[in-house]
Chains A and B, each alone.
Chain A
Amino acid sequence: MELSGQRTIDAPREQVWEALLDREVLKECVPGCTEMSGSAEEGFEATVVQKVGPVKATFKGDVRLENVERPDSLTLTGEGKGGAAGFAKGGADCRLSDAEGGKTRLEYEVEAKVGGKLAQLGSRVIDGFAKKMADQFFERFQDRVEGRGKAAATGGAGGMAQESAAPADADAAPTPRKWFWPGRVE
């Protein structure tokens, strides 16, 4: 699936750019992320706990930064293996440009794919799930950069990610319900 969107962030472009490369920021903003190590140059290793439809899994994988054109654009790509649950991979093309009033416009195009049991059991909910993941990520990212919200308040402490993972789970659950049960005759 593919989706795109944009946000205007109340911060100068350089600051937004730095945040995109910041391990702690990414860790706080990726929904369900419990661990993130590595660096922007070397690539990150991440652990993400997520529930897609009926499949809950711990994904371990890499996040890489590619096509880095400082401070204009970059591509975030990641691939996570969830053991028996299958795999998920995706990418986000991000472009930064100056907006009025010293703000920064962040435009993004996201692509997501799943395989294995996730595709077999969760394909119906993947589009909605991926949109929610992307929305949450960029929402949190905006909050973080603008200095609002829990992410900023706790300054990226270790316990934070766990905390923010919980609402992601809770949020994801109603979506599959809605989609699954009337699926009978399609």
Chain B
Amino acid sequence: MPKDGGIGTSPKRREDIRFLSGTGRYTDDINLHGQAHAVFVRSDVAHGRLNGIDTEAAAAMPGVIRVFTARDFEGCGGVPCGWQITSRDGSVMQEPKHPILAEGKVRHVGDPIAVVVAETLAQARDAAEAVMPDIEELPAVVDMKAAVAEGSEKVHDDLTSNLCYDWGLVEDNREAVDRAIKDAAHVTTLELVNNRMVANPMEPRVAVGDYAAHSDESTLYTTSQNPHVIRLLMGAFVLNIPEHKLRVVAPDVGGGFGTKIFHYAEEAFCTFAARALKRPVKWTSTRSEAFMSDAHGRDHVTKIELALDAENNFTALRTETYANMGAYLSTFAPSVPTWLHGTLMAGNYKTPLVYVNVKAVFTNTVPVDAYRGAGRPEATYQLERIVDKAARELGVSPIELRRQNFITEFPYQTPVAVEYDTGDYHATMDKLLEITDHAGFEARAEESKRNGKLRGFGIAHYIEACGIAPSNLVGQLGARAGLYESATVRVNATGSLSVMTGSHSHGQGHETTFAQVVAEMIGIDADQIDIVHGDTARTPMGMGTYGSRSIAVGGSAVVRAAEKVINKAKKIAAHLMEASEGDIELKDGQFTVAGTDKSVAWGDVTLAAYVPHNYPLEEIEPGLEETAFYDPANFTYPSGGYGCEVEVDPETGHVEVLGFAAADDFGNVVNPMIVEGQVHGGLAQGIGQALWENCVYDADGQLLSASYMDYAMPRSTDLPMFKVDHSCVTPCTHNPLGVKGCGEAGAIGSPPAVVNAVLDALNRGGHAVDHIDMPLSPARVWAAMEAARANMGAAQPAARAQETAGGRSVGTP
């Protein structure tokens, strides 16, 4: 077919018509007859003993239907965790109960204590203020290293300590790594903080619970990236509702970035309350609530050491990371600092020995879980920062040091469990240097100097792992779920198709890209194809969208199901044309018999399938609908080179991003425009983390950055026009589309590129600063420059002695 709609073309996003015209249907647009409104009473203190809750006054207020507390949930389970990590000593992680409403203790600011359900939202809000919890405040556990020190206050009284697990990868390499570092010609060491992020999707979380007494069926409408996962976790582990009596619908969802993967107490509450009250119950998060109840991201404190031989070859890498879990284990929290982080610590480099140690810690803060990139940004940040620092210490080019150590032969078995199937890191580096006009940098730096500014160029080269799989492997790694994806292709009698996918689109544009794939396979227009997602009643059991898995895993499932449909349709076509099945070809929506002029149209075959008058009934069943479950053989490994050019104002420490370029290898690309958009969004979030965003707690566990006055989101005017290239293509070797996934790359590769650029600018300007913790606010950059000046270019104790690097995210915003 003409390439105006198939794979590799950029038709505009079909879903944008409804998003841009205000006709999208988000969860908050769903208002059911007789619906009541829920408002959560949340803890103001980080840690305290909950001695009682006086609900009497609230219950008597106008419009109040019922006030719920933990007592109402006796007999229900807690919010479950979907991944179990085994510690170095062979013990399984400590897994505290995560109640729907606080039982006995409150453990973070925002921990839900009670819920008022009332006729109107205003009545529920008023009554929520009258609920009086009796809380005896306890010392808050905030600093991770203090939390695991002897004698620390415990977040969970029934656990032995605040240490969730102490994990190593690969434990057998530990001694060899220690030895290699001891024997190295040069060792570069860096301590850094990966700052805590709030995901801030544009649409806050919403849940609407409904109960149909006539069928005993519960329905939950929710802002989720994976409705089947929510149905399984909530039905089987929290509320004991069998799956056939529970439907979960995630309609249009306005951004997720990971924080809408997880099962939340509010979802279980609304489903539970709708059953209890026999009427729909709705909760819509306020923005303030989102800051203190949506799972946060990142928050790692790491010491990393890189050993090099006398020729600057990397010989060993060792890391020790403290990873904040928050007060409870969110759904996939344990996997993020471990299997999504440790396995990426080889990066693009052929370092023969790597050892990663991760200590996961409970604190009196909001639970931390996957946020765009999830573990991989933390790994990339450490690696790409230490490689830059090593280059500076050794006086070599950071570009050449990277090139010298690049992996060049594939498949490549890393020392941290994973095997890269394909890649070409020199190609993306070459492309990056070309599109950043690296050759012209010195002239631009001179120009900046004349204007009293410091210009710097920073580079980062990332690898990531997408489409985590296969299921039997992830099961061994502790996942309590499979990681396949599903698709049903339902062909209607007149030839149009409904494609039901287990993937979920919340901004990714699946309705466009998945349709492009099927349109290409059959040779019909994409407008003949409807993509259905986000409803457990309409789609086969699917695992949803996260980890850049949709096109690689979900798209592959669609391909497999469409192949089954096409194979059956060919049988029907062969019958209609009295030809051999092996001679049937499908092209441009026409079945032809090879070597003849016989043909039959797609619509004639589909009609025959449902009106089987002339049909091989003895060989095949009527109908044309097939389902496929696709379980990948391996992860996919997108990679790329990112370059950032900044100007620093030496008077104020203000950083301006002048240019940012991304040269990615995503394998084959279905819709280049959508891929570019995904990269743009990821870059904005990654640059946001590097320069502005920071979630801050004070020493008492009070959340200080809980509004857009104190939590600085990137804005379009803060960012330059990005240069994005994905012409370097090494197709994935093990999925049918040769695709790798692109959703998270931007957020993974950009933070170290920005920080490296700022440090390059400072060092070029004579300020011997070797590290500044993110976000690189003017205050931090200026303080680092001043400290460097005081030391007259000596090593930088002062740069790290500032309050930001003390081992946690406590400090000034």
- Which residues of A line the B interface, CB within 8 A? 54, 83-84, 86-87, 113-117, 119-121, 123-124, 180, 183-186
Contacts and interface: CB of A to CB of B under 8 A. Distances in A.
Shortest beta-carbon contacts, A-B, top 10: A120-B706, A116-B44, A119-B702, A123-B704, A83-B129, A115-B44, A186-B777, A86-B44, A115-B702, A121-B707
Contacts of B779: 186
A21 to B, nearest CB: 28
A122 to B, nearest CB: 9
Contacts of A120: 109, 288, 291-292, 702-707, 710
13 contacts: A87-B45, A116-B44, A119-B702, A119-B704, A120-B109, A120-B292, A121-B710, A123-B698, A123-B702, A184-B712, A185-B654, A185-B692, A186-B712
B303 to A, nearest CB: 27
Given A121-B709, A124-B710, A185-B778, A116 B698 contact: no
A3 B288 CA distance: 30
A148 to B, nearest CB: 39
Contacts of B129: 83-84
Contacts of A119: 109, 698, 702-704, 706
Given A117-B706, A120-B291, A185-B778, 14 more contacts: A84-B129, A113-B700, A115-B45, A116-B45, A117-B288, A119-B698, A121-B288, A121-B707, A123-B702, A123-B704, A124-B710, A180-B709, A183-B709, A186-B812
Contacts of B707: 120-121
B813 interface: yes
Nearest to A176: B709
Contacts of B291: 120
Contacts of A54: 709
B39 to A, nearest CB: 10
Interface of B: 44-45, 109, 125, 128-129, 288, 291-292, 654, 691-692, 698, 700, 702-707, 709-710, 712, 777-779, 812-813
B712 A121 contact: no
Nearest to B654: A185
B706 A186 contact: no
Contact of A115 (B109, B691, B692, B712): B109
A186 B778 contact: yes
A87 B45 CA distance: 9
A84 B654 CA distance: 37
A179 to B, nearest CB: 9
B703 to A, nearest CB: 5
Nearest to A119: B702
A83 B665 CA distance: 53
Nearest to A180: B709
Contacts of B705: 120
A116 B44 CA distance: 4
Nearest to A123: B704
A183 B708 CA distance: 10
A114 B779 CA distance: 25
A54 B707 CA distance: 11
Pick the most buried of B129, B710, B779: most chain A CB atoms within 10 A of its CB: B710
A186 B44 CA distance: 25
Contact of A185 (B44, B706, B709, B777): B777
Nearest to A79: B137
Nearest to A181: B709
Contacts of A87: 44-45
B49 to A, nearest CB: 16
Contacts of A116: 44-45, 109, 702
A185 B712 contact: yes
Contacts of A180: 709
